[in-house]
Every structure is written in structure tokens, then in C-alpha cells.
Amino acid sequence: MSELEEDALSATAQADARIGLVALCDTADVTPDMPLRVVVAEVAYAVFNLDGHFYATQDQCTHGPGSLAEGFLMGAEIECPFHQGRFDIRTGRATAAPCTQALRIWTVHTIDGRLCIDPAEYRAEEP
Ligand code: FES
């Protein structure tokens, strides 16, 4: 690796640290229509690949203990495997009963082939 490349990587790492991003996984780890469960710092995330766009939500369903990464992805909706409630993975909004409370979601940043989020970000649509 050249000194120039090392400097660029170092600058990227410093910028990432400055804005609080953490890596969840590689882009190649999340295949279309197959959510991935990732645990970072004891927080479980569900990561989705929807036509090449990546989304991250909390893994646990807001209705109960269902793991959304084990659910069924239908377009932009994830169906919980416990009681078949649904959410829009792009907004976190609950779209089918018995779910009424939105999921917490994070903006996914793709950096050097890795999917990164700011764990401190809070985005959830009100029901
Ligand atoms: Fe997910 Fe009930 S636990 S719908």
C-alpha cells in the first residue's frame, strides 16, 4: 500500500470515528431478500438489501420477541415470524396488525464495501 493510500485510509477512519459510525457487516454479507441479524455492542440489528439499497432496523419486533431478520421479506415489508405483523423497512412504520409501534431505524452508509451506521441516530416514525 502506498503512503498516499495509507493517508487516505487514515483520513477515512478518522472521519468515520468523528461522526460515530460503526461497521455492521460487508455489503456482500446481505443478499437480496435475505435479511441478516448483526449484533454490535449488545444491540441486535436486522440488515436488509432491497434492490441494492441497504436498510437497518432494530431486530426485535416491537410487538414481542420475534427476530425480524428471521422474518419474510416481501418487497419493502418485513413480516415478523411470530404473529405475522409487518413493517416497512425503509421507514420503520408498522404496516400490519398486530404491530402498531414503529421500528427504530438507522441510515446505512456504505464505506469501502462495509455497511455502517451511527448507533446514536434515532429515527422512528410515529404510529
Ligand atoms: Fe412480532 Fe408479534 S412478536 S408480530
Report pLDDT digits (tens) over 43-55.
Answer: 999 999 999 999 9
Checking if the pLDDT of 28 tops 90, the result is yes
Reading the block at residue 58, the C-alpha cell is: 432494530
Closest by CA to 68, choosing from 98, 37, 25, is 37
**Contact 56/117 with Cβ under 8 angstroms?**
yes
Cα–Cα distance for residue pair 115/28, rounded to 1 Å = 10
Cis peptide preceding 81, ω within 30 of 0: no
Q: How many angstroms separate the alpha carbon of residue 81 from the centre of ligand 1? A: 7
Q: Which helix (H) or strand (E) holds 39?
A: strand 36-40
Q: Is the pLDDT of residue 36 over 70?
A: yes
For residue 127, being part of any structural domain is answered with no
Does some domain include residue 74? Answer: yes
Mean pLDDT computed over 7-21: 57
Q: Which domain holds residue 58?
A: 22-117
25 near 32, Cβ under 8 Å?
no
| pLDDT at residue 63 tops 60 | yes
**pTM for this model (two decimals):** 0.83
Atom of ligand 1 nearest to the CA of 66: 3
Q: What is the pLDDT of residues 75-94, one digit of tens each?
A: 999 999 999 999 999 999 99
Mean pLDDT of 59-74: 97
Q: Which pLDDT does position 127 carry in this prediction?
A: 44
E strand or H helix that includes residue 114: strand 114-117
Average of per-residue pLDDT values in the chain: 88
Ligand 1 centroid distance, CA of 23 (Å): 28
**How many domains does the chain contain in total?**
1
Q: Is 2 part of a structural domain of the chain?
A: no
Q: Which of 57, 83, 95 for mutating ligand 1's site (highest number of atoms within 8 Å of CB)? A: 83
The reply to whether 94 falls in a domain is yes
**CATH code for the domain of 105:** 2.102.10.10
Q: CB of 32 closer than 6 A to ligand 1? A: no
Of residues 37 and 16, the one with the higher pLDDT is 37
Query: What integer is the mean pLDDT of 11-40?
Result: 82
C-alpha grid cell, residue 18: 468523528
pLDDT of residue 40: 95
